Homo-oligomer: A and B are copies of this chain.
């Protein structure tokens, strides 16, 4: 350990994440990355190995952050059903730029899960994480009587994750916030106690 790195590893991964998130994997050049990260070529290769490894690290970070945010949001409200509603409506409430950027997790699945086993593996673990988070809150909602007893919480959890991903694709396809809210509203009717 002679000379310390002049950059903060965490910070540069974050910046790389932003670029990959915005442009996708293939469409991002190493030049793009270096410019955004503010480090030299060799520093990047020494620290992360290659472009793919950097991407995987950025993706892992994205998943960890957005997974944590999901769990947080789901517990932020007193009412489980309201919390779920907030999460679904959050996509509609984003700025146009955010809606166009979409979700890096979805993008990684669509672009890479088929050809990169490590991305596929991250996709599966991310899926389980989110499904489980939704499942827990659905169980909680049933307990509180907000969600119909006949709803299977495991199935509903999976359904809610699929709904979020559907919303993200629709958002990227240019659907208006109103349309996205409509979708979220219909999705919620499958849970509500009547």
Q: Which residues of A contact B (CB under 8 A)?
A: 23-24, 26-27, 100-102, 106-107, 109-111, 113-115, 120, 123-124, 126-127, 151-152, 154-156, 158-159, 161-167, 169-170, 172-175, 179, 182-183, 185-187, 189-190
Interface contact A165-B158, CB-CB below 8 Å: no
Interface contact A187-B170, CB-CB below 8 Å: no
Copy number in the complex reads 2
Interface contact A162-B170, CB-CB below 8 Å: yes
Q: Which of the residues B100, B115, B155 comes within 8 Å of A183, measured between beta carbons?
A: B155
Look across to chain B and name the residue whose beta carbon is closest to the beta carbon of A192: B190
Report the minimum CB–CB distance from A160 to chain B (whole Å).
9
A-B contact pairs, 24 of them (CB 8 A): A26-B26, A100-B114, A102-B114, A106-B169, A107-B110, A109-B172, A109-B173, A110-B169, A110-B172, A113-B172, A113-B174, A120-B173, A120-B174, A124-B173, A127-B173, A127-B175, A155-B182, A155-B183, A155-B186, A156-B186, A161-B170, A165-B166, A165-B170, A190-B190
